[in-house]
Every structure is written in C-alpha cells, then in structure tokens.
C-alpha cells in the first residue's frame, strides 16, 4: 500500500519493525547502493558507505554518459552533504559560532550605549541549502534577527523549476538495478539541482516562520551580488550585520565591502552526532537525493519516495513522502496522521 505522509511518520514504522531486528539497512534501489546501516534500538552502531565503494560503482555506470545525465547522479560529496543537512555531522567550529552570536546579543542587551547597533545575521545561499539554521541555531536561547537578500532567494528559486525532460538515458542506467523505472522516473520530474533547491526553499520558509526575518532587495545572482545587497543594506541602516557562509571566497568579497563574516568550517565526516530526530531527517533527505530509498529490516521493507508525478510545492513545504510498505500498521499510522491534521485545521 502506497500512502502519502509527512516524513516524520517514518519513525512510527521503524518503531514497529525494530522489535524484530537489530540492524536496519538503507539502500538506494535505483543506484544499487547500500547507503547506511544502523542499530535503531540504541543508535550505538551507524555505518555509511565508504567513498571507494561509492565512487567505484558510480564510475561504472557513467561511462559514455553525457554531462546532463551525470548531473542527475549524486556524487559522494553530495552523499556527505546529506549527513550535514540532517545534522548528523556538525561544523567543526559550531560551538565558537554559537558562542559568538550569544556574546554579540548579550553585549547589546547589557550595554546598548556601547553597542548601539542591533546585531543581525545575513545568510549566504549555501546556509539554506545545508539547513544550518534549523539544525544548529535553534540551540540558541535568544534568537538573532535574520536578514535574507533577494539575491539569495532568486538564486534558489531560479533552480526550483529545472526539470528532466527526457528520462530515457537516466532510465537505462537505473534499469541495471531494477526491473522497471515506472513509478520512479517520469518525463518532467524535478532534476537533482531542483530537488536540492527545494530543500533550500523549504528551509527558507521554515526560517521565516520561526525567526524574526527581513527580506532586502538584491540583484540575481552570485556571490558578488549577494555581498553587494548586504553592503547596501548596512550602509542605509542602523544594524551591525555578520554574514554566515560555508564559502571562503565570498568572505573575501565581504571583507572588501567592510562586511563582517563567519566561515562555517566543514565537518569531520566520520564523527557523528546521532539522535532519532536527525536520523529520520537523514532518511528524508536521502529519499530526495536518490529519488527513493528502501529501508530493510529482515522481512520488512519500507520504501520511501520523494518524487512522484503530480507532487505540488505544498508537498515539498509540508515535507511529504510516499511510503510503500508491507508493515500492516501503516493504515493505523495514516489514520492517526489524518486525525492530527484535522485537529490542526480546526484550531487554525
């Protein structure tokens, strides 16, 4: 049975299947890759596919493939990004970043005469792509005001509508691993670039909902335009802005414009900060990057798809997935989810 649910309900299914097995395997069926394996009961075991195994397989399938199709196949770097987007791996300097933000807010609260300009954060595009705010800034007791340039928004929205017009070449690749790609691939499906942009767009909407934010004008697109928009805003306002970024290059542009910036250092990829919340988010992100994932636990199989014909922007913002499983309790989980949605709609 295939049912549309918010991705967080995957945890209800895992609670059921984990009663009969200790380790759970997550596979990308279209690419025949065993992505991760973990012990769900206490999370004391977590293993990811290594780069040699991953790259060896990818190199075997891309021979003779044109660049347009290669762009639809996630690289190992993209796979590591899913760990960061979910919050399972952490930027090396995260504690220093949080401490700096807390101090800037505290200085202005204690001595507003010495620090008359309110402290605010500006966001680079990659901060939204990698879900930095929802994963890490939510730890702060006091939340800073966040400024978002239209240059950043345009950079994201400009990629959302990118489609795969002809899936036949990609289909030939995945047919090595499955009997049919019907139900997984279709002409006009969101491209890999679009799917990543939709993750960023969903993060943008979450940030605007949870934080005090302000959109500022900016031209499209690129690092220089982003810095220029923040520089113009600071020049015409009474704020003290610090730009958050994962990109060293944009820091140089920021410095030339007199804009303070924080470089978010790449995480250590083999050091995991694992909990049930970010584990379930990882499964969701993997299903977006790899089109579908298969969660296997002895006789149980849970297939999670994030791409389907007729999927709407509302589904992306609500983080819905299609779940197909032999777990009989899925009907009860669906009914419970529908009751919760009904209660929410009544209180709105």
Sheet holding 46-48, edge to edge: 2-6, 320-325, 300-305, 292-297, 23-28, 33-39, 46-48
Helix (H, G, I), strand (E, B) or coil at 29: coil
Domain boundaries, given as residue ranges, for the chain: 2-89+276-347, 94-160+193-263
Over residues 173-220, the pLDDT tens digits come to: 876 666 677 778 999 999 999 999 999 999 999 999 999 999 999 988
Looking up tokens 């990609």 gives 170
Cis omega (within 30 of 0) for bond into 221? yes
Specify the fold of 94-160+193-263.
Answer: Rossmann fold (3.40.50)
Return mean pLDDT, the chain: 89
Tell me the pLDDT band of 67, cut-offs 50, 70 and 90. confident
Note whether 292 and 26 are within 8 A (CB): no
Mean pLDDT for 289-308 is: 91
Query: What pLDDT, on the 0 to 100 scale, is given for residue 179?
Result: 65
| Closest residue by Cα to residue 267 from 91, 127, 98, 81 | 91
The reported pLDDT for the residue numbered 334 is 63
**27-55 mean pLDDT:** 93
Categorize the per-residue pLDDT at 327 as very low, low, confident or very high, splitting at 50, 70 and 90: low
Pairing of strands 145-149, 119-123: parallel
- The predicted model gives 316-323 an average pLDDT of 94
pLDDT for 337 beyond 80:
no
> What is the three-class DSSP state of 152?
helix
Q: What is the pLDDT of residue 177?
A: 65
Q: What is the pLDDT of residues 130-154, one digit of tens each?
A: 999 999 998 999 999 999 999 999 9
Q: Taking 60 as the threshold, does the pLDDT of residue 345 lie above it?
A: no
pLDDT of residue 70: 87
Asked if 84 and 130 count as a contact pair (C-beta separation under 8 A), the reply is yes
Using CB atoms within 10 Å of the CB of residue 248, give its burial: 0 to 12 exposed, 13 to 18 middle, 19+ buried: exposed
Say whether pTM exceeds 0.85: yes
Supply the pLDDT for residue 268: 80
Residue 9 has pLDDT above 90, yes or no: no
Write out the two tokens for 26.
Answer: 């997550």
């Amino acid at each position: 049975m295939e049912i549309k649910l918010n991705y967080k309900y995957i945890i209800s299914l895992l609670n059921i299947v984990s009663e009969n097995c200790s380790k759970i395997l997550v596979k990308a069926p279209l690419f025949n890759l065993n992505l991760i394996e973990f012990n769900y009961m206490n999370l004391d075991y977590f293993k990811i596919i290594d780069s040699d195994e991953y790259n060896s397989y990818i190199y075997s399938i891309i021979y003779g493939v044109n660049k347009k199709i290669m762009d639809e196949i996630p690289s190992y770097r993209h796979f590591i990004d899913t760990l960061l987007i979910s919050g399972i791996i952490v930027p090396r300097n995260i504690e220093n970043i949080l401490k700096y933000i807390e101090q800037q807010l505290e200085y202005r609260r204690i001595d507003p005469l010495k620090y008359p300009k309110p402290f605010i954060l500006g966001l680079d595009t990659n901060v939204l792509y990698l879900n930095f705010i929802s994963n890490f800034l939510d730890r702060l007791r006091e939340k800073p005001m966040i400024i978002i340039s239209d240059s950043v928004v345009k950079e994201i929205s400009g990629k959302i509508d990118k489609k795969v017009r002809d899936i036949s070449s990609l289909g030939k690749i995945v047919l090595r691993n499955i009997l049919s790609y019907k139900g997984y691939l279709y002409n006009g499906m969101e491209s890999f670039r679009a799917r990543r942009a939709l993750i960023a767009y969903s993060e943008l909407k979450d940030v605007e909902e949870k934080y005090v934010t302000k959109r500022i004008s900016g031209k499209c697109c690129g690092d220089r335009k982003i810095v220029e928009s923040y520089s113009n805003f600071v020049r015409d306002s009474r704020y003290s802005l610090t730009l958050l970024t994962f990109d060293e290059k944009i820091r140089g542009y920021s410095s030339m414009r007199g804009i303070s910036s924080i470089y978010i250092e790449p995480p250590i990829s083999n050091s995991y900060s694992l909990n049930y919340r970010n584990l379930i988010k990882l499964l969701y992100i993997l299903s977006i990057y790899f089109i579908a994932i298969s969660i296997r636990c002895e006789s149980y199989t849970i297939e999670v798809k994030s791409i389907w014909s007729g999927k709407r922007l509302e589904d992306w913002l609500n983080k819905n997935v299609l779940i197909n499983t032999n777990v009989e309790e899925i009907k009860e989980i669906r009914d419970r989810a529908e009751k919760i949605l009904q209660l929410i709609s009544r209180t709105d």
